[in-house]
Chains A and B, each alone.
Chain A
Amino acid sequence: MIELYLFLAFMIIAAFIATEIKDLLAAVISLGAVGFAVAIMFILVQAPDLAIVQIVVEVVTIVIFVAVIFRTTHIDETIGKKLTGPHVFSIVSFSFFALLFLIAVINALQELPAFGNATMKVASEYIRLGLPGTGGANLVADVILDFRALDTLGEATVLFTSVIGVVALIRSVGRKK
């Protein structure tokens, strides 16, 4: 379990760097470090399906980010300016509410069952019925494409809608010219 917390600390540091660094290419690389740390954590808790998806999605996202940065600009000019009164006030108030939220979260987490002991019985039913019920050796595929295929249809619809949105928005820009 300790390695999970180490990766969590690494991710928090990398996320801070990604938001605060001036060079946008370095920020994208830090973002990639966060994504790959998530992938390693998935492998550590024995979820290779999610790890594969996380790695390939992270790679494609970074490629698109880097392609955009090479075509626009490297430097984020909003970072590194002197803090003014409103900024200081917003940082202080945000930290205060983040602290309150964290105290509440710690109290809530005490009530959760221990790691790996789910309260719901549905997961053990999936494990029991997975191979005899569907014939698929990969339990994740059994769940997402047989037991809960309707959810997968919804997810595919979300992707379809986003692709239609991107293509339609960018094409309308192209038509005006």
Chain B
Amino acid sequence: MKGMSLIVRTITTVIIGFIFIYGIYITLHGHLTPGGGFAGGVIVAGALILRILVFGSEPADEKKSEIRTSIFESVGALLFIGIALAGLVIAGTFFLNFLPKGIPFNLLSAGIIPFCNIAIGIKVGAGLFSIFLALAAVKYVVKD
């Protein structure tokens, strides 16, 4: 994919790290503030899509990173279902909140909820980004 102009590149260089960190923040604080794994994952995917759109990429790189994001998506899904199965193994109920509740409003509280948010964030971010990469790869196939 071809990149964009110098102005867009410069602004994106400044801004893209903040977008990425904001997505991670939304994911990690899902049990305290509005947001959560889904919203944070979409923001992270948006930052990655912005990078591809602005700086451009080679078709070979796109294929490589598509395979990598597919692995990440599967890891997120397995992590989520692993947390659910851990509840089944440890306490006998699927999706039981088996970890200690902690003090409310602390970052490490609410048992399994932050870990579920992280798993969903990885899954959604990687999933949307791999959809974008698959759609971006089509162009070269049609053109060739």
Q: Do A and B bind each other?
A: yes
* Cβ-defined partner of A134 (8 Å) among B34, B80, B101, B137: B101
B97–A146 contact, CB under 8 A?
yes
List 23 contacting pairs A-B, 8 Å CB cutoff, sorted by A: A49-B36, A56-B39, A60-B42, A60-B46, A64-B135, A67-B135, A71-B139, A135-B102, A137-B105, A137-B109, A138-B32, A140-B36, A141-B113, A145-B36, A145-B117, A146-B97, A146-B111, A153-B95, A159-B124, A160-B127, A167-B131, A173-B141, A174-B137
- Minimum CB–CB distance for A59 against chain B, Å: 6
A163–B131 contact, CB under 8 A?
yes
Q: Does B84 contact A (CB under 8 A)?
A: yes
Residues of A45-100 at the interface with B, using a CB-CB cut-off of 8 Å, are 48-49, 51-53, 56-57, 59-60, 63-64, 67-68, 71
Q: What does the 1/0 interface line of B47-77 toward A look like (CB < 8 Å)?
A: 0011001000000000000100010010001
Q: A150-B95, A167-B134 are known contacts; what are 15 more A-B pairs with Cβ within 8 Å?
A: A52-B35, A56-B43, A63-B50, A63-B53, A135-B104, A136-B32, A141-B31, A144-B36, A152-B116, A156-B77, A159-B123, A162-B131, A166-B134, A167-B66, A174-B141
- Minimum CB–CB distance for B50 against chain A, Å: 8
Max chain B Cβ within 10 angstroms of own Cβ: one of A63, A134, A153, A163: A163
> Quick one: given A52-B26, A140-B34, A159-B123, are A171 and B39 in contact (CB under 8 Å)?
no
Q: What does the 1/0 interface line of B121-143 toward A look like (CB < 8 Å)?
A: 00110011011101111110100
A171–B84 contact, CB under 8 A?
no
Q: Does A12 contact B (CB under 8 A)?
A: no
What are the nearest 8 A-B pairs in CB distance?
A: A135-B101, A136-B110, A48-B34, A136-B31, A149-B95, A163-B127, A135-B110, A56-B42
Give complex CA distance A149, B84 in Å. 9
Contacts of A136 in B (CB 8 A): 31-32, 104, 109-110, 113
B39–A52 contact, CB under 8 A?
yes
Contacts of B86 in A (CB 8 A): none
Contacts of A171 in B (CB 8 A): 134
* Cβ-defined partner of B104 (8 Å) among A64, A131, A159, A174: A131
